[in-house]
Structure 1
Amino acid sequence: MRLGARIVDILIIVVGGGAIAFTVGMTMMGLTENNDAGGVAMAIVFFGSMALYEPIMTHAYGGTFGKRICGLRVARVSDGQNLSLGGAFGRWAVYQFIGLVPLGGLINALSCLWDKPLRQCIHDKAASSVVVKRRWGITANHL
């Protein structure tokens, strides 16, 4: 389920973030008649959307659209509540950093298969978080 959620999120980021970045970049090019300014604007918007999407969604809703669609939720190990914004950003940053290490992303993703008892990936352990099945209709924090 986590893999399915990640695939949905990648599609959202690439399609949604890409469309917004393209629109902003084309607008900048039209306003300034400077292709460099448009390209820089596109890059800032695209990478900014990548850096904000997962942490904000995880903090506010307990998971991204992909996790919500797949019936998953990210929670603090200590009390089951949503991560703080700083915790959610730290979790995302560790995930990104590990992906830069050769085979790190693969090891990180697979580590939940052998971790006991919480099935945490490395980025979950770094943020003291766990991915659990979403409990529908209990409270606003569980939606």
Structure 2
Amino acid sequence: MAVVDTETLIDAWRRLLAGSGKPWVLFEHGTCVVLEEPGGGLADRATEILRAYGPVSVGGPAGDFRVLELKNGEGWLVTGHHPDVVTFVALEESEDPSHLAVGMLGRSRRDRDGRDLHVVHVEDGRPRT
């Protein structure tokens, strides 16, 4: 299983969120928090959301996930129980392309990001006035 570096993750999220006009914050293991209602510092707000919705507790809603295959063949997006918290899994990262395997990988990364809370990039996609 390959590990995608931070610059590759930033590039992927820039492509995925291009034109959205929304600020986003990327965490160390590939989880991105898209801020629908940014208030205060972007990194602080995203960290609050991920602290609450990142860690996995089996048997509860935090254990659930959904896998979305990207049309460009670049990989998958793994969502959880908060609509603004999404983890990117690159195609080369999963030897098993089944939604279960990819979902488990994405969920485990969201869990790590929700516990480590290490911001690696902040991008403010809002239009400048």
Structure possessing the higher radius of gyration over alpha carbons: 1
If each structure's helix is expressed as a fraction of its own residues, which one has the higher value?
1
Which structure dedicates a bigger proportion of its chain to strand? 2
Using the size of structure 1 for normalisation, the TM-score is 0.31
Taking CA–CA contacts closer than 8 Å with sequence separation of 6 or more, which of the two structures ends up with the larger relative contact order?
Answer: 2
